Amino acid sequence: MGLFTNLTMAKKAGLPPGSIVHVGERKLEKAGIQLIHYDVDNLEERELGKIEECYPYKEKQGVTWINVDGLHDTDLIKEIGDSFNLHPLVLEDIVNTEQRPKIDDMDDYLFVVAKMIYHDPDDEFLKFEQISLILMENYIISFQEDKGDVFDPVRDRLRREKGRIRKLKADYLLYALVDSLVDSYYGVLEGIGEKIEKLEDDLVTDPEPESIQNIHSLKRELLLLRRSVWPMRDMLSSLERGASELIDEKNLIFFRDVYDHTVQVIETIETCRDIVSGMMDLFLSSVSNKMNDVMKMLTVIATIFIPLTFIAGIYGMNFENMPELKWSWGYPAVWAVMFVVGVLMVFWFKRKKIL
């Protein structure tokens, strides 16, 4: 599973628009449908075998949340689309998991595409899962690629008998779901923050050649993250400004709150990007610093010994007429000269701040 999963694109060129073809990895063996129906007093949870089982709830009072795990079963998706009267293009977007987050107001219903992002413990890369949400008067239908999500806290709040969520309508449930998604980004950012801190410590104490690849992959992770969160911001911005009549004006303040969180996430991403950019300089400087130390040592040793070796070479010549060779104090004198030359060079290095 390469890093490019999120860059590869729909290969359905040639199919008519509205063709419901699953694009993306098949993450699940068999699609599953869960239904939660609630009003202030009652809550009913069911695992559905067939989508028809949810039809009776259409007429009922209260809010119904239908959650579909697994997008490869396109017949199921089509069936749901037919029974809830969804536009073919909406269905196409639901199963195309490379969609960017967006909101489409289809008059009768609101179609929201969002991204769930998490660190896969088995894998060091970020995972992106597309969550599509359909908001109708009393209904929410959510589509996920895989089992397991960040919505359990919402379910728990629904099960607990009291709390705003049971009293309010489907629009508040939509808010609660989107809020859970955005909350999950904080965890991802924290993980990235820790990576950055660790990498920075490494860079200062012991820059490894691998560090550059870590910086590079951190950069790319932030790039992919940013690509998913920016359109979330646009989506929430238009929700918060009251884009749809399906959302009660009194609840707009909640969407503004999620919007604020998204802005905070984006700013943190941008700050991280700036910091990671700066780390490249830190790394390169650290490496060149170490290299400079190595070169300095070569220089010092070479420049001290090269003249001394030259002197030794001089008196290794075999000329018959070399009076110094016969002087009895010639040998110690040469040692003395060498010593003086060596000491002088060391002093000179010190003064030049090389040693």
Judged by beta carbon, residue 169 or residue 220, the one nearer a copy of itself is 220
Judged by beta carbon, residue 102 or residue 169, the one nearer a copy of itself is 102
Q: Is 259 in the site for a copy of itself (CB under 8 A)?
A: no
Min dist CB 49 to a copy of itself, Å, is: 30
Min dist CB 63 to a copy of itself, Å, is: 16
DSSP label at residue 280: H
Q: Is 339 in the site for a copy of itself (CB under 8 A)?
A: no
Q: Is 11 in the site for a copy of itself (CB under 8 A)?
A: yes
Judged by beta carbon, residue 16 or residue 49, the one nearer a copy of itself is 16
**Which has the closest alpha carbon to 34: 155, 157, 174, 183?**
155
Q: Say if CB 233 and CB 259 are below 8 A apart.
A: yes
Give strand pairing partners of 102: 113
Please count the residues of the chain. 355
List Cβ neighbours of 190 (8 Å cut-off, separation of 6 or more): none
Q: Say if CB 245 and CB 169 are below 8 A apart.
A: no
**Interface stretch with a copy of itself, choices 29-37, 117-125, 131-139, 328-336 (CB under 8 A):** 328-336
The Cα–Cα gap between 179 and 150 comes to: 10
The pairing of beta strand 139-144 with beta strand 63-69 = parallel
Q: Is 315 in the site for a copy of itself (CB under 8 A)?
A: yes
Min dist CB 48 to a copy of itself, Å, is: 25
Among 224, 236, 246, 247, binds a copy of itself (CB under 8 A): 224
CA-based diameter of the chain, in Å? 122
Among 108, 147, 245, 298, binds a copy of itself (CB under 8 A): 298
Q: Is 148 in the site for a copy of itself (CB under 8 A)?
A: no
The Cα–Cα gap between 322 and 100 comes to: 89
Judged by beta carbon, residue 124 or residue 267, the one nearer a copy of itself is 267
Q: Is 344 in the site for a copy of itself (CB under 8 A)?
A: no
CB atoms within 10 A of CB 177: 22
Judged by beta carbon, residue 75 or residue 319, the one nearer a copy of itself is 319
As a dihedral over the C-alpha atoms of residue 146, residue 179, residue 260, residue 113, rounded to 10 degrees, the angle is 40
**Interface stretch with a copy of itself, choices 43-51, 60-68, 136-144, 184-192 (CB under 8 A):** 184-192
Q: Is 268 in the site for a copy of itself (CB under 8 A)?
A: yes
Judged by beta carbon, residue 73 or residue 183, the one nearer a copy of itself is 183
Judged by beta carbon, residue 54 or residue 221, the one nearer a copy of itself is 221
**Interface stretch with a copy of itself, choices 70-78, 120-128, 135-143, 291-299 (CB under 8 A):** 291-299
Judged by beta carbon, residue 57 or residue 129, the one nearer a copy of itself is 129
Among 21, 40, 297, 344, binds a copy of itself (CB under 8 A): 297
The tokens for 244 are: 């749809």
Considering only residues 67 through 126, tell me which ones interact with a copy of itself, judged by CB under 8 A: 87, 89, 92-93, 98-100, 102, 104
**Ranges of H-type helices in the chain:** 74-84, 88-95, 152-159, 164-167, 170-205, 211-240, 252-314, 323-326, 330-351
Q: Is 107 helix (H, G, I), strand (E, B) or coil?
A: coil
CA distances (Å), origin 222, targets 218, 236, 255, 264, 269: 6, 21, 25, 15, 7
Judged by beta carbon, residue 87 or residue 169, the one nearer a copy of itself is 87
